[in-house]
Structure 1
């Protein structure tokens, strides 16, 4: 009997050892896979790039596979989107994009080089973020109504810096001018960072872009945020009214960032990435990192992301048509 019990213990140990070796071999195979490229259509240091780097770190841990951020800046994300459309659908290439490249550019550029609803698979939404209107400290305004009164009293055009031409901020400036019957001109820059630098220097007296570009300078008193998009005020800026409160409706929803894959990527690969992204978004480290950027960590599946692309296209499509904008 003792001999029988000893034999059973040996057999159980061998089974356990075999399982451990199998797991180790699987982990080694997973780590031996080629890296996943996460395309970003903007330079390093911007808010899309920052989110991509936090996301890549988390996905790498969740997948046990290297995830590398690949910056391909230019044309507001269009160049990176074109590259994604031409990429092999083997699961090795993804892209983190904001709404501009997938919703606005296809409506403002004639030969965009991709169809966002045919050439890509929406993988997951990873954050939502508000647009913000900010002014130079010399401007005597704490909300949109006061900015309008200040601009009318000066009897000079109000120049508003924006991160890119034919962008949501560009058309928002047009809405502002039309709604309040003031002379306001959008001044386009190559990204939010140089625009904010000029705003702090007083070269433009107002600016409109993603809130994360303004927050560090708001804390330092170098700019003053006077309006944010979204259905309600931000918890971290409770004294700053929304655009709707300021008399400019149409900004009740916040913009978004989402991960896309080339069309034809196997469904099981997409599922694996969705599960990894969902686990990353739920971590305290990711949520804290995005909160420090002024962004809200949010997970939405492919249906959610596709819906956001369609909704932004429909909503801003009407704004673009009403503005009389002609595609390039």
Structure 2
């Protein structure tokens, strides 16, 4: 068979790709007894750790190999990114990461240790979660409309607590203040728990947090979630309206967490993990446990995650730049 030089080159490239794909599958098969690892850039016992362990338990069945959670906390998940970049491309290591890696850090940090497009290969979206606007003991308002009316009469007292500066909570607060026409001062805390304590004690007038954090205090009547940032009401709190319902359509958006593979991972390996993720999240018990954690299960593949990340970056870049905030 005589091939034109261009056809021969194309055939060789195709053959090489096929060999690499076979090698990838062979590597996965040979390593069946070797545990795969899910890197988590946050401490054991936290929400990210809980989600990772839930996935690991289910995905090991589909992958036919043990799956372990490897906590590497620090720098908001960026230490885990360093380890992911240096990890083998054979499917033995992936990472569960927050949306901030692609949507916030590129704009809030002067310098980051990775390229959010090249170094984080999308595997699939695990879950998403809305942000909540929470009232405490002072002012004792029961609706967002009542809080806005109070804020306009008391602009010097209007503030909002957040678990940390530079997190999505921070920028949702900026967006809310701009939308209602009242400049709101952010009050950063060292995490959600002390922020909620300050809210209950009346040290701050409001708080912004992910759904899972204030859920139990809301149900117990210690706090009041006045609105959620999702497009539709969430199943955990069907009585709480969305911002859009209340006339603030610009305050809509979800945070998310997702699985990423090391740069250069073959597509076939990525799809193997993605399939296992979708399978795990289709299990009713997994979905129920995630809902109890205050998140909404997603279970989508690489293309959806890539589009979601790009959309989140496009949404937050102008807000962050207009705020002038720089984390370091």
TM-score where L is the length of structure 1: 0.84
Q: 1:166 aligns to what SS in structure 2?
A: coil
Q: Which runs of 5+ in 2 are unaligned?
A: 1-25
Shift of 1:131: 1.0
CA distance in 2, matches of 1:45, 1:150: 38
- Map 1:204-283 onto structure 2 (within 5 A): 204-283=204-283
Kept in 2, the 8 Å contact 1:135–1:199? The answer is yes
Q: 1:145 aligns to what SS in structure 2?
A: helix
CA distance in 2, matches of 1:43, 1:209: 19
Q: 1:96 aligns to what SS in structure 2?
A: strand
CA distance in 1, matches of 2:75, 2:206: 23
- Map 1:56-75 onto structure 2 (within 5 A): 56-75=56-75
Kept in 2, the 8 Å contact 1:143–1:240? The answer is no
- Give the aligned CA root-mean-square deviation in angstroms: 2.2
Q: 1:193 aligns to what SS in structure 2?
A: helix
The residue that corresponds to 1:109 in the other structure is: 109
Shift of 1:190: 3.5
Structure 1 residues 191, 282: CA separation in 2 closer, same or farther (over 3 Å shift)? Answer: same
CA distance in 1, matches of 2:64, 2:30: 6
The residue that corresponds to 2:35 in the other structure is: 35
Moved over 6 A (4+): none
Larger Rg computed on CA atoms: 1
Pick which of 312-321 and 167-176 moved more. 167-176
For the pair 1:196 / 2:186, whether they are aligned, the reply is no
Q: 1:212 aligns to what SS in structure 2?
A: coil
CA distance in 2, matches of 1:200, 1:137: 6
Q: Which runs of 5+ in 1 are unaligned?
A: 1-25
CA distance in 1, matches of 2:277, 2:112: 28
TM-score where L is the length of structure 2: 0.84
Once the two structures are superposed, residues 178-230 of structure 1 have per-residue CA deviations (whole angstroms, 9 ceiling, x without a partner) of 23332421122343334334333443332112101111221112211011012
- Map 1:38-187 onto structure 2 (within 5 A): 38-187=38-187
Kept in 1, the 8 Å contact 2:236–2:291? The answer is no
Q: 2:95 aligns to what SS in structure 1?
A: strand
The residue that corresponds to 2:290 in the other structure is: 290
Once the two structures are superposed, residues 110-160 of structure 1 have per-residue CA deviations (whole angstroms, 9 ceiling, x without a partner) of 211001110121001111211111121443223322112223334533231
Structure 1 residues 61, 251: CA separation in 2 closer, same or farther (over 3 Å shift)? Answer: farther
Pick which of 142-151 and 222-231 moved more. 142-151
Q: Number of aligned residue pairs: give it.
A: 301
